[in-house]
Amino acid sequence: MNTDLKIILLYLFAINIVAFFAFGIDKLKAKRDKWRIPESTLLSMAVLGGSIGALAGMKVWRHKTLHDKFRIGIPVIIALQIAAVVWWIFA
């Protein structure tokens, strides 16, 4: 495996872990009526490669599951990212 691919995979692993825990932290803060992580930040993490972690965080923490921009948006982001990877591999 070349170095560039290792860096990309390490980045994707890290951003997904961060996105996953960001949903959990935001859920905890919501329950405690504390300062929240902005929705734009949560969505940005998904767009920047953390979409699987974001979806997992939504499911595990049961957070943002009733908001259409997350309930529909995160799966759309995943689909677009998969399409981009398939295009990149076969183009």
Q: What is the pLDDT of residues 35-78, one digit of tens each?
A: 999 999 999 999 999 999 999 999 999 999 999 999 999 999 99
Give Cβ neighbours of residue 69 (< 8 Å, ≥ 6 apart). 39, 43
Phi-psi category of residue 33: left, alpha or beta, with phi > 0 → left and psi -120 to 50 → alpha: left
Neighbour-count burial of 6, counting CB atoms closer than 10 A to its CB (0-12 exposed, 13-18 middle, 19+ buried): exposed
Give Cβ neighbours of residue 47 (< 8 Å, ≥ 6 apart). 77
pLDDT for the residue 1: 81
The whole-model pTM stands at: 0.94
Mean pLDDT of the chain: 97
